[in-house]
Amino acid sequence: MSGDSEAVRPWRLIRQDCHGNRYRVGSYATRAEALHLAERLGERGDGYLVEHQRSDGSVQAVSG
């Protein structure tokens, strides 16, 4: 395994609890896929964020 899965799946779904702790739920190939799961999981009342890992290594939070 080459370890380049971030390049293939640059969209990350992050769960953030009420204390600000963040947990990666998964990585996805498309924004639509990440947002769809965030909406489904968000129905439970938990807070979910979608982030994009850019090729330069920086991370950008993306809203729905």
Q: What is the pLDDT of residues 2-56, one digit of tens each?
A: 555 556 889 999 998 888 898 999 999 999 999 999 988 887 767 888 888 776 7
Tokens coding 21: 């702790």
Q: Does residue 63 have a pLDDT over 80? A: no
Q: What is the pLDDT of residue 1?
A: 45
Q: What is the pLDDT of residue 62?
A: 76
Q: What is the pLDDT of residue 60?
A: 82
Q: What is the pLDDT of residue 8?
A: 85
Distance set, CA 62 to CA 3, 23, 42, 55 (Å): 24, 16, 15, 16
pTM: 0.72
